Structure 1
Amino acid sequence: MLQSLPDAVVVADADGRVVHANPAVTELLGLDPDELVGSTLSALMPERLRAAHNKGFARFFATGERRLIGNTVQVPALHRDGREVAVDLTLSVVSRPNGAELVIAVLRDARPQIQLEQQLEVSRHLSATLQVTQALGDSPNAHVAFERMLPALCERLDWDAASLWVPHSADGALVCSGVWRAPGMDVPALRDATVARTFAPGEGLPGAAWQGRRVVVMDDLLDNPRFTRSDAAQRDGLRTGVAFPVMRGTTVLAVCELFSRGTRPVSDELVEVLSSAGRQLGQFLDRLHAEGQARELARTLQQSLLPPRLPDVPGVSLGARFRAGGDGMMVGGDTYDVTALGGGRWMVLIADVCGKGAAAATVTALARYTARAAADGGAGPSAILAAVNAALMHDDQTSPLPYLTAACLLLRPNGSGAEGLVSIAGHPLPVLRRANGTLEDVGEPGLLLGVDPDVTHLELPVELAAGDTLVLHTDGVTEARDAAGRQFGEEGLRSVLSWTAGAGADATAQSVLDAVERHVLASPHGRDDMAVLSIQC
């Protein structure tokens, strides 16, 4: 039975010698199971961990202490080529008929899960950035902006308390402008110690961020001599602190502190998020009433939700167009993505989030990063949509209505065309234009995402021959209304694809966009976001 398991299984005796290993250990660590037999378990781990392992293993058999038995922990394992591989390790013990005990170690590749967690963390960080942007955009003045920004940042990033410091021109020191705490939590000692004092440049946590014009992290407030409010932190149970400056160019306008009751790592990604938040605040304060700045910020966010450029896919040409809807609101919920998966496979995704603005952009980012993570893990289009659906159902704070439609395609060029699988979640069906000009819908309609946690979607095959063009689009194309209220419709899209037969992928996408723009010219009806992605073999 062990031989057929997909996870690597290593069995060792009381001396820590391997007595059996199944074939999966080769795929995971590049080791020959037969060669592994007779070696010590410590050979599976990096050199720096072997002494501690040997000591713990000996204590285990000497005392019977079995803290890890039955639990799964993430540890580094050593690959044959010398690199480290993150694995989820589960230990169990069995007894032989003679009473001797064997340790069974099950090792599962943790990298797909780590990658998914990292992608979700990026989505959460982007969500926090967008929440900050929304808080700023809705604020009539700087005071209200800070009042809204700190709760938004802390709630999305799970920090327990925050404080705001501003330079006081009279004495050249930072003075406290306010202290915020998470709902249901109180930090009286920190509040009293904070509002009662000032900080010079380089002094304490806020002074260090002020002087250095950068994010400053203090992992353990109680043991860091530079943190001058350690007594207050201890009374309130706070352990980790981080401060970031609010910048206008090279000028520090303010310093924000965040505090956590738990000891928590501060990743480079989070540092960048906080740096970005500080820069955004500085820009907002510098040009609070400038409508053009708001549009530019929104445009930057929108571009972050779309590929900066389409990749080069062997044997396939791509074309894409996007137009944001609304009157000057550039942040929309439409997105598309084309991602290499290895082995000659590509994921193609197009999605349309309910609503507009920062909330819709947050859901869009979550969907895009989740889809990428699931695809990198080997999921098919139906499973990719299921992963996005699970993320939407879980992230109930993202938007009042966090649902979207999507079409997901896994494509493999084969030299004479391409083949793949497609799943549809409440999205307009892609249209396939054959090389001879005939048109056909691709896929089967399915329920949109974010509504039913148990929804599943069909996977249907799709084949593209040389000269075929597959056009994916959002409903902003077909639902665009002219001055009389008539929709562009599926008929309008098919008409464009018919008279552009023979055009390349890029020209096809541009033709669809141009036709819709002509249709809505002088229309009083609101315009939705619109995305078009064409794939031609």
Structure 2
Amino acid sequence: MTPEASLSAGGSDLLDGLPDAVIVAGDDGLVRYTNAAVTTLLGYDPDALRGRPLTDLMPERFRSAHDSGFSRFLATGRGELFGVTTRVAALTAAGAEIAVDLTLSRLTPPTPGGAGALGGVVVGVLRDAGPAVLLEHQLQVSRYLTATLRVTAALADAPDAGAAFAGLLPTLCEQLDWDAAVLWQPEDSTGRLTCAGTWHAPGRPAPELDGQSQRLTLSPGEGLAGRVWESHEVTVALDLWTAPNFPRGPAARADGVRTGLAFPVLGGGAVLAVCELFSRDSRAVPPELLAVLAGAGRQIGQFLDRLRAEAQFRALAETLQRSLLPARLPAVPGVQLGSRYRAGGEDVLAGGDTYDVLPLPDGRWMVLIADVCGLGAEAAAVTALTRHTARAVAVAGGAPGQVLAAVNAALLQEDTPGPLRFVTACCLLLDSGTAGADVRLSVAGHPLPMLRTADGSCTEVGTPGRALGITAEVSHPEAAVHLGPGSTLVLYTDGITEARDAAGVQFDETGICATLTAAAGLSAQATADAIDEAVARHRGDRRGAGDDLAVLVLAC
């Protein structure tokens, strides 16, 4: 009995109960039978399909390949699609394309060399792949989202561009399942792209591709990366072995690398880098992946722009801060000097703490430490005014109290917008000799200097006075102090004493005294370092959690 006869004898009732569409075709390529499910899947009436060619059920672009493949099957009895399930495109009665999972089998196969000699038929079972395609698409989108998040995390953890790119290549390849990557960056001096790094999956090196990439330079439009550099767009090469504009084709073939794509890293409208990804498989590149990589390139470019802006900001801050502090401490006869300064936060343009040591015409020295309320450019302007005023008055012969009074007057004359910018300061005149140094000092709302004498005692010196820049009615009494051999005088800002630990306990003056006791016999600079380190330990080195701090040490 022929297959058609068996269907007529009652087999069709069984097939009509199946949820999957069943199509039977003869060796002439015409439909002999379809079950009822073909209507649900493709919208065709089963009776109307009988006698029509199978090619009516497939998009036109596949029909020629089908004809040649079907003829080969009839001639040889062998077919690539038989016995396996393959996802293909099918054409509905309305002319729409849908994805179906197709399983082919044969009944009474033809004899090789005698096409259709036994009247064989081909049976195709079609199942709607839409739900599976949707699920796969959702999983793919989820992977792309995960890759984007991982790139974001890698950038957030990177301290500089080199570290960002070092983490970028493996992150993208591992998350998107690509086998190798090459990073290119433009070189200003040559106007060409040069290789800045390569990566390959663990245990799967691509030595020929890596080596040639490292030796090669590319002009705009040359090769995969050069085309991206020129177009600013993601570019795909589905077959690197035959691509006409891919100089590394032989290297890719030698390593078994088949598919490649590249995307630009864009910043400020320019290509900052080009990232190439490679796969050993011949693979399609969906539009969603192109969009993800284009977005990743923009994201990386924004990160690099931010790094560049931060570097410029830090350079400006360092330049400004240097202008408010001595480039180096001078050598004062008979007195050692040491200092440390730390800004309260990494994103601060300039701190408000400053110190100065200035030689005077009469052989004495002015020493100043000051703390301006606030941070940033406005505080820096007030700091500069304080330093310059103090210097001018001291050089003219002013005593410490007169120096502070002049600074107070200058601050009150400044008509600056914004909050009140007051200043605390301590000014002293130092007269050094062979038996130590004599000091006269005045204090304006500032922490009193700490004196440790040769016998180990630790006391505050000076008389408190009102801060500067608040009112014209100020008084800053002078105090006289002798620094004998073995004595150490510490001037500091409140960032030292007000530094807090995790429990909120301040370092305060007892912390300074304890550090001075432990630092007995050390140089002035070593003592300043010890105080700075003790404060850092006290607050757990929580940078940015405290005020600026400055310390200036005088030792005899």
- Structure 2 length normalisation: TM-score? 0.49
Offset, 1:53: 2.8
| 1:89 aligned counterpart, secondary structure | strand
* 1:8 counterpart = 2:8: no
Structure 2 residue aligned with 1:22: 35
Q: Are 2:72 and 2:79, in contact at CA under 8 Å, matched by a contact in 1?
A: no
Structure 1 residue aligned with 2:274: 255
| 1:269 aligned counterpart, secondary structure | helix
| Structure 1, gaps ≥5 residues long | 292-537
- 1:46–1:250 Cα change, 3 Å: same
Aligned partner (choices 159, 164, 170) of residue 183 of structure 2: 164
CA distance in 2, matches of 1:54, 1:177: 50
CA distance in 2, matches of 1:235, 1:259: 14
| 1:92 aligned counterpart, secondary structure | strand
Q: Which amino acid aligns with 1:224?
A: A
- 1:198–1:50 Cα change, 3 Å: closer
* 1:115 counterpart = 2:134: yes
* 1:148 counterpart = 2:163: no
Q: Which amino acid aligns with 1:225?
A: P
* 1:194 counterpart = 2:230: no
Offset, 1:246: 0.9
Offset, 1:267: 1.8
| 2:271 aligned counterpart, secondary structure | strand
Q: Which amino acid aligns with 1:215?
A: V
CA distance in 2, matches of 1:254, 1:38: 59
Aligned partner (choices 232, 240, 244) of residue 251 of structure 2: 232
| 2:150 aligned counterpart, secondary structure | helix
- 1:61–1:280 Cα change, 3 Å: same
Equivalent runs, 1:437-516 vs 2, <5 Å: none
CA distance in 2, matches of 1:290, 1:179: 27
| 2:213 aligned counterpart, secondary structure | helix
Structure 1, 252-261 or 35-44: larger mean CA deviation: 35-44
| Structure 2, gaps ≥5 residues long | 1-13, 110-116, 311-556
Residues 99-144 of structure 1, C-alpha deviations (whole Å, 9 max, x = no match): 6433221111112211221221111111111111111111122111
**Structure label with greater radius of gyration:** 2
Offset, 1:11: 1.9
* 1:38 counterpart = 2:51: yes
- 1:183–1:46 Cα change, 3 Å: same
Structure 1 residue aligned with 2:314: none
Residues 383-416 of structure 1, C-alpha deviations (whole Å, 9 max, x = no match): xxxxxxxxxxxxxxxxxxxxxxxxxxxxxxxxxx
Q: Are 2:268 and 2:305, in contact at CA under 8 Å, matched by a contact in 1?
A: no
Equivalent runs, 1:318-337 vs 2, <5 Å: none
Structure 1 residue aligned with 2:95: 82
- 1:52–1:146 Cα change, 3 Å: closer
- 1:46–1:204 Cα change, 3 Å: closer
* 1:281 counterpart = 2:300: yes
Offset, 1:24: 0.7
Structure 2 residue aligned with 1:104: 123
Equivalent runs, 1:171-182 vs 2, <5 Å: 171-182=190-201
Residues 247-281 of structure 1, C-alpha deviations (whole Å, 9 max, x = no match): 11302211111122222222211111111111111
CA distance in 1, matches of 2:140, 2:101: 20
CA distance in 1, matches of 2:168, 2:33: 57
CA distance in 2, matches of 1:279, 1:50: 42
Residues 339-378 of structure 1, C-alpha deviations (whole Å, 9 max, x = no match): xxxxxxxxxxxxxxxxxxxxxxxxxxxxxxxxxxxxxxxx
Identity %: 56
- 1:256–1:8 Cα change, 3 Å: same
Count of aligned positions = 290
Q: Which amino acid aligns with 1:211?
A: E
- 1:270–1:60 Cα change, 3 Å: same
CA distance in 2, matches of 1:55, 1:204: 36
| 2:24 aligned counterpart, secondary structure | strand
Structure 1 residue aligned with 2:70: 57
Structure 1, 35-44 or 223-232: larger mean CA deviation: 35-44
Structure 1, 35-44 or 235-244: larger mean CA deviation: 35-44
* 1:205 counterpart = 2:205: no
CA distance in 1, matches of 2:65, 2:207: 42
- 1:239–1:30 Cα change, 3 Å: same
- 1:65–1:193 Cα change, 3 Å: same
RMSD: 2.3
Structure 2 residue aligned with 1:72: 85
- 1:8–1:242 Cα change, 3 Å: same
Q: Which amino acid aligns with 1:42?
A: T
| 1:179 aligned counterpart, secondary structure | strand
Aligned partner (choices 200, 219, 223) of residue 238 of structure 2: 219
Offset, 1:7: 0.7
CA distance in 2, matches of 1:60, 1:203: 44
Offset, 1:206: 1.7
- 1:71–1:217 Cα change, 3 Å: same
Which 4+ stretches in 1 moved above 6 angstroms?
Answer: none
Structure 2 residue aligned with 1:338: none
| 1:264 aligned counterpart, secondary structure | coil
Q: Which amino acid aligns with 1:108?
A: R
CA distance in 1, matches of 2:43, 2:79: 29
Higher relative contact order (CA 8 A, sep 6+): 1
Structure 2 residue aligned with 1:265: 284
CA distance in 1, matches of 2:215, 2:30: 63
Q: Which amino acid aligns with 1:161?
A: A
CA distance in 1, matches of 2:48, 2:129: 24
Structure 1, 64-73 or 270-279: larger mean CA deviation: 64-73
Offset, 1:178: 1.2
- 1:12–1:265 Cα change, 3 Å: closer
| 1:288 aligned counterpart, secondary structure | helix
CA distance in 1, matches of 2:37, 2:25: 16
CA distance in 2, matches of 1:54, 1:199: 44
Equivalent runs, 1:320-469 vs 2, <5 Å: none
- Structure 1 length normalisation: TM-score? 0.51
Q: Which amino acid aligns with 1:19?
A: R
Offset, 1:203: 2.0
- 1:17–1:255 Cα change, 3 Å: closer
CA distance in 2, matches of 1:276, 1:235: 32
Q: Which amino acid aligns with 1:11?
A: V
- 1:206–1:62 Cα change, 3 Å: closer
Offset, 1:242: 1.5
Offset, 1:14: 3.0
CA distance in 2, matches of 1:27, 1:12: 19
Q: Which amino acid aligns with 2:36?
A: P
Structure 2 residue aligned with 1:128: 147
Residues 60-97 of structure 1, C-alpha deviations (whole Å, 9 max, x = no match): 2333224322211122222111222221111122349x
